Amino acid sequence: MAKRTFSTLETFLIFLLVMMTAITVALLSLLFITSGTIENHKDSGNHGFPTTQDTIATQASPVTCTPEPPLFQNFSGYHIGVGRADCTGQVADINLMGYGKSGQNARGILTRLYSRAFIMAEPTGPNRRIVFVSVDIGMISQRLRLEVLNRLQSKYGSLYRRDNVILSGTHTHSGPAGYFQYTIFVIASEGFSNRTFEYMVTGIVKSIEIAHENMKPAKIFINKGDVEGVQINRSPTSYLRNPQSERARYSSNTDKEMLLLKIVDLNGDDMGLISWFAIHPVSMNNSNHLVNSDNMGYASYLFEQEKNKGYLPGQGPFVAAFASSNLGDVSSNILGPHCLNTGESCENAYSTCPIGGPGMCIAKGPGRDMIDSTQIIGRTIYQRAKELYASASQEVTGPLASAHQWVNMTDVTVWLNSTHTAKTCKPALGYSFAAGTIDGVGGLNITQGKTEGDPFWDTIRDQLFGKPSEEIKECHKPKPVLLHTGELSKPHPWHPDIVDVQIITLGSLAITAIPGEFTTMSGRRLREAVQAEFASYGMKNMTIIISGLCNVYSHYITTYEEYQAQRYEAASTIYGPHTLSAYIQLFRGLAKAIATDTVANMSSGPEPPFFKQLIIPLIPNIEDKPPIGRNFGDVLEPVKPKYRVGEVAEVTFVGANPKNSAENRTHQTFLTVEKYENSTAAWQIMYNDASWETRFYWHKGFLGRSNATIEWHIPDTVQPGIYRIRYFGHNRKMEILKPAVILPFEGISSIFEVVTT
């Protein structure tokens, strides 16, 4: 790469940044020296026991502060910052995003969702930095990314930009919907939820801010290894359409390899990790109504709990991101598809049962229920990551670079060979899209693998939306078009035309940010093509990472051969049979630009839109009301006086709609489980709603009345003693001609004893 020289203005700005950093460090040091001790407030209520200390992080270790050297001084490696922030959003009265199942609304919370940010910078130039963010949500929407970039620009200027910031969704199917702008996703979300959108944007930006503020000299080590026993290919007959000579090069019809980056500071202290692995987080099935981060989130939880000893979940300095990869045809329901009514296998090209059809063909995980399956799969992923982390010794070094383009994916000319071209298509969904998958079947009794339309559904479509053009039908063949979304524009376009393609590199490591779900073989082809492109311009032996569900969501990307089978993944490949070839061509262009140091010469492409006046949520806001003679937070069904380990402590309160808590964030959790400590005569928080041992269920009643049930599944590791459960909520108060007011309240259980025998 060409040697970088700096203009007089750039040199002055670098000097100014160094001086500002030094002043900031000095001021922070002075602040810590002069700040006093915050006194914990206590009172003597609640059955003769004092109340909880004000801070939630009662288990946190004492913070010690040692001044760091100025950011770009005395170190030639990377400066790295890590950050984590809550991005949970609405946990009631909103659809869960992933299965597209009507009625699968959130009714509480199993675990919180987090944004995990990692910033890597070169000390030789303040603008040579990259940002990777893994977010515990279904996917990144275009609107989400555009708003995050806008807020980063407002705060940091040109430091964090569209080319050097990657946002990636973990693809949990148990996070809230409602944060999209394209009509098909707004309909699936049953409206646009500004409260969830704002909550997610704020959380993502905050995680980046935390990473930015905590940057310090650090090192990155890379490791790779297979993870066994956690995946199956959910469309094996489609995979078999790929050439036998190509399949013979691989030992499995899924990518088993996990790639992991270990981040430590110069003292050898652990800072965080990023891993990429191809698996669908669908251990929680479409009967679930609790917001949670599924199997990959559980792996993050276990790793962070291990490294952040003494901290509550979601707290502590160590950040562990388990990011998505080419998971398009990869299921975590490893027992495979079976007919619910007969128990027989239904692994066939159409995923259908002899009796009951496709609706009976469902895959299950290894556990006794979906939460157990989630934990089994997540724990196996965590344990393998722990091994790879411990043995990681190959350091990642070298310059940082990034390249990005917006592309109109409806109009890409694809070179099939030196003489023949093909085109991508306007977006359309095929019939098998409505069939769903073995992880979550559709509700229309349509089978996967349909290569012909249905006159009944065609007639309904034509009456509602008009007939698809011959052009779009011809372009998508052999896909029978169910919805010609590329020709629907009211109230806004139904699918994106403009998508992001992006690569960031750290030395010999390249992260490709793909705007959708690549199947196993699609990911392999992209990796090989991008690696070969780098090599042809002198960057040999590059490691190519497929980072999934980044920046904008455009459904699936199958190979051309898989597309012919028209199972769910192919029917959801919205830009037609040559979509993968188009992406390979585009990512090769980015790789060439980085390798030849010509990124500055690239066109940025057509900027995507940011729509106004999106469809409001279908579920209205109403005033919360307690039963007559009751108050919010009153106990309706008390705990028992004593529990043994392995049992479930349960209490029900007079509740209010939890979605209010996404607007008024007075409380940072819906619940705490607290233990009385005799030595300090204080209550210590042991668990909160981010803990996998707790459940928060909201039961919606009539006319604004509702109940909240909290469960604590008492683990074997618990300390015996006296406990209580607290509930934190917000109620909406509405008066005529006045704006609604959201008020915080609390509830508390009676005390109970936990014994081990």
Query: Which amino acid would we find at residue 623?
Result: E
Among candidate residues 72, 170, 164, the one with its CA nearest the CA of residue 118: 164
Count Cβ atoms below 10 Å from residue 128 Cβ, excluding itself.
16
CA atoms within 13 A on the CB side of 261: 27
**Distance of alpha carbon 317 from alpha carbon 308, whole angstroms:** 7
The answer to whether 163 and 502 are in contact (CB under 8 A) is: yes
Q: Has 331 been annotated as catalytic?
A: yes
**Distance of alpha carbon 476 from alpha carbon 470, whole angstroms:** 10
Q: Which residue has the tokens 């700005």?
A: 13
CA dihedral 240, 243, 248, 251 (to 10 degrees): -40
Beta-bridge partner residues of 720: none
| 122 annotated ligand-binding residue | no
- For CA atoms 201, 207, 208, 213, the dihedral sign is positive
The answer to whether 486 and 410 are in contact (CB under 8 A) is: yes
The answer to whether 657 and 742 are in contact (CB under 8 A) is: no
| 556 annotated ligand-binding residue | yes
Q: Tokens for 420?
A: 């023949």
**Distance of alpha carbon 381 from alpha carbon 94, whole angstroms:** 30
Catalytic pick among 331, 522, 572, 691: 331
The answer to whether 168 and 550 are in contact (CB under 8 A) is: yes
The answer to whether 219 and 397 are in contact (CB under 8 A) is: no
| 147 annotated ligand-binding residue | no
Query: Which amino acid would we find at residue 213?
Result: E
CA dihedral 595, 599, 602, 607 (to 10 degrees): 120
Which residues are within 8 A (CB) of 663 and not within 5 positions of it... i.e. 6 or more apart?
A: 195, 730, 742
Alpha carbon distance, N-terminus to C-terminus of the chain: 67
Provide the 3-class DSSP secondary structure of residue 462: helix
What DSSP assignment string belongs to 248-317?
Answer: TT-SSSS--EEEEEEEEETT--EEEEEEEE-----SS-TT--SB--HHHHHHHHHHHHHHSTT--TT-SS
Which residues are within 8 A (CB) of 252 and not within 5 positions of it... i.e. 6 or more apart?
A: none
Query: Which amino acid would we find at residue 333?
Result: N
What DSSP assignment string belongs to 719-751?
Answer: PPEEEEEEEEEEEEE--TTS--EEEEEEEEPPP
**Distance of alpha carbon 309 from alpha carbon 600, whole angstroms:** 45
CA dihedral 567, 568, 570, 573 (to 10 degrees): 170
Radius of gyration, alpha carbons of the chain: 26
C-beta pairs of 349-355 under 8 Å, 24+ apart in sequence? 349/237, 349/448, 349/449, 349/565, 349/567, 350/447, 350/448, 350/449, 351/435, 351/437, 351/438, 351/441, 351/447, 351/448, 351/449, 351/567, 352/447, 352/448
| 280 annotated ligand-binding residue | yes
- Please confirm whether the linkage preceding 491 is cis (ω < 30° from 0): yes
Question: What residues form the annotated binding site for Zn(2+)?
Answer: 171, 280, 517, 556
What residues are labeled active site?
Answer: 331
Task: List the binding residues.
Answer: 171, 280, 517, 556
